[in-house]
Amino acid sequence: MGARLKKPLWILFFFVAYIVIYGGIEIVFKRDLWNLGRQADMWKLIVTIICVGILVFCMYKVHTKLFKLTVKRKIQLMDLIFVFVTYIADRFSSYLISLWSSMAYGTSRINLVNFFFRVNLPLTTDKYIFALEALRLVCFAPLIEEFLFRGFLNNLLRGKVNTFVRMSIVSILFAAIHMPYYIQNWIQFIAYFIGSIILLLVYERRRSLFDAILLHSLYNSLLVILFIEIPRRFF
């Protein structure tokens, strides 16, 4: 099989695996085939984290072999500062978009909080379930999504289309895969699209997935913190 065919097939395989892991496991545990009862959520998270961990390991191996990319330079203090400043700018732009969504769709304060800081964490007092969800969101979700979109898809399109088209395709697919749970209107779609563009720019600066993963993790970390604080302030 030629090298040109291997890359698209691997990317298709990882996309399907990504959807199967998150969608398939959810469906299986909702049916409660093993009569786990109240422990179903915890076992669902454990199985998800294990499967995602295996998938990320496979992605790393395949990505390294297929693309053989080298980081432009070693990470420096200025690179970390750049990621942090970019994070602040991204949060500010997202805040403005959330206000736009609120005005356009008449979103109430509580619904606005749910939209902008929405996170797939269960409303539970079980600290173990919450910890597993936070681990999945902060560590595993950024890893799998950055490898998939900024790593595989972005580098597959490199050289085949111009930079604008490449970033647009990656960002549209990134936003689309978060529908319908996180995205309910076109303004929210734009928010995810812009977020993906920012992650791409951060990645391209050093051609390093570490920078994009770090920024993605910072964003998701804030969601976890806000999920703890928002109920105290708004509910």
80-95 confidence digits (pLDDT tens): 888 888 888 777 776 6
pLDDT score at 51: 93
Residue type, 175: A
Q: What is the Cα 195 distance to its own chain's centre? A: 10
Evaluate whether 4 touches 130 at the Cβ level (below 8 Å). no
pLDDT score at 3: 55
Evaluate whether 154 touches 200 at the Cβ level (below 8 Å). yes
Q: Which of 47-51, 100-104, 218-222, 231-235 has the lowest mean pLDDT?
A: 231-235
Distance (Å, whole) CA 216 – CA 235: 28
Choose between 191 and 97: higher pLDDT. 191
Number of C-alpha atoms within 13 angstroms, CB side, residue 232? 5
Q: Is the pTM of this model over 0.85?
A: no
Provide the domain count of the chain. Answer: 1
Q: How far is CA 151 from CA 46, 105, 146, 156, 163, in A?
A: 26, 35, 6, 8, 15
pLDDT band, very low/low/confident/very high, at 196 (cuts 50, 70, 90): very high
Return mean pLDDT, the chain.
Answer: 80
Q: Which of 139-153, 154-168, 175-189 has the lowest mean pLDDT?
A: 175-189
Structural domain boundaries enclosing 10? 3-234
**Percent of the chain topping pLDDT 70:** 75
Distance (Å, whole) CA 112 – CA 163: 34
- 84-97 b/e with 16+ CB inside 10 Å = b? eebbeebeeebeeb
**Residue whose C-alpha is closest to residue 96's, from 185, 181, 177, 191:** 191
**Residue whose C-alpha is closest to residue 130's, from 223, 192, 219:** 223
**Percent of the chain topping pLDDT 90:** 33
Is the N-terminal amide bond of 180 cis, ω within 30° of 0? yes
pLDDT score at 97: 66
Evaluate whether 101 touches 192 at the Cβ level (below 8 Å). no
Highest mean pLDDT among 101-115, 146-160, 171-185: 146-160
